[in-house]
Amino acid sequence: MLIRISLIVVIIAALGAGVLGYLEVTKQIPDLTKQRDDENSAKHQALTELDTTKKTLAKTKTELTQTQGELADTKDQLTKAVATASKQTQRANELNDKLTQATQDRDDAQSKLEAYTVIGLTAEQVNKLNKQYNDSLKAIQAINDEKLVLLRTITRLTNELAKYIEPDQDIKLRADLRGKISVVDPKWEFVVLNVGLDQGVISGGELLVSREGKLVAKVTVRTVEKDRCIANLIPGWDFGQVVEGDDVCPAHPAPAS
């Protein structure tokens, strides 16, 4: 009988312990579930951030490659511009030497013409000397014209080089450059000027627009042709309405040579 009672007591105790264990586990389930969900959420966030980081890294690598390519192109353009400017300068020096020689020839011909006239040369001889003198004048004019073109080319190349070497430097235009507004488009804020490459206009140069001596606006040259150019109005410099016939002059004139 005692044994049965003992067995019953043991069974009841085991059942009680089981019930208590079950109740304890039941209390821990929400915490364990929350911990599992938090870990899954953190893992998902970490994977998302890793994927974003990989994409950012790939994009940065692509941009770096593109930037390196653009830098190489810029260096090539700079090298070509320097070489072209050097050739043009050399050509200008050669023309200057030819001009000096042609001027000397003209002066010699003039001196001879005057001397021969005094001593009584024949008309044929005088005409021959006169022709030599006129030929010298034409040669000098041709050299001066070519020299002017070369000087303008050198100025343009110098400004092109400055865009790479000193991007913030103002582009200098001929101090004696003068022109007028021939077309105005207020909707797109651009104007057409009656001066171009032949007059020394350079892309990127700035000009002041005035009327009767009063400043009206400031424009930046964008496209240059032989005898005209297109420029955009610069915001903040609109002191009046630009109209056809307004005068223009360099905002940054080059120093006199």
Domain boundary residue among 107, 142, 169? 169
Supply the pLDDT for residue 25: 58
The HSE-up count of residue 67 (CA atoms within 13 Å, CB side) is 6
Beta-ladder partners of 180: 247
* Same structural domain, 27 and 45: yes
Strand ranges (DSSP E) for the chain? 179-185, 190-193, 206-211, 214-224, 229-233, 247-250
123 or 11, higher pLDDT: 11
* Same structural domain, 130 and 198: no
* Same structural domain, 116 and 204: no
* Same structural domain, 3 and 97: yes
Supply the pLDDT for residue 107: 81
State how far the Cα of 250 lies from the Cα of 205, in Å rounded to an integer.
Answer: 8
Supply the pLDDT for residue 168: 64
Structure token pair of residue 211: 């009327």
Which residues touch 145 (CB under 8 Å, ≥6 apart)? none
Supply the pLDDT for residue 9: 64
> In this structure, is residue 25 part of a structural domain?
yes
Q: Is 187 helix (H, G, I), strand (E, B) or coil?
A: coil
Into how many domains does the chain fold?
2
Overall average pLDDT of the 33-39 stretch = 74
* Same structural domain, 158 and 199: no
Supply the pLDDT for residue 23: 59
Listed range (4-8, 45-49, 182-186) with the worst mean pLDDT: 4-8
* Same structural domain, 115 and 185: no
The top-scoring range by mean pLDDT among 76-90, 109-123, 183-197 is 183-197
Range of the domain at 100: 1-169
State how far the Cα of 253 lies from the Cα of 140, in Å rounded to an integer.
Answer: 28
Supply the pLDDT for residue 27: 64
76, with CB counted inside 10 A (0-12, 13-18, 19+), is exposed
* Same structural domain, 242 and 154: no
Listed range (52-66, 127-141, 152-166, 234-248) with the worst mean pLDDT: 152-166
Is residue 19 predicted with pLDDT exceeding 60? no
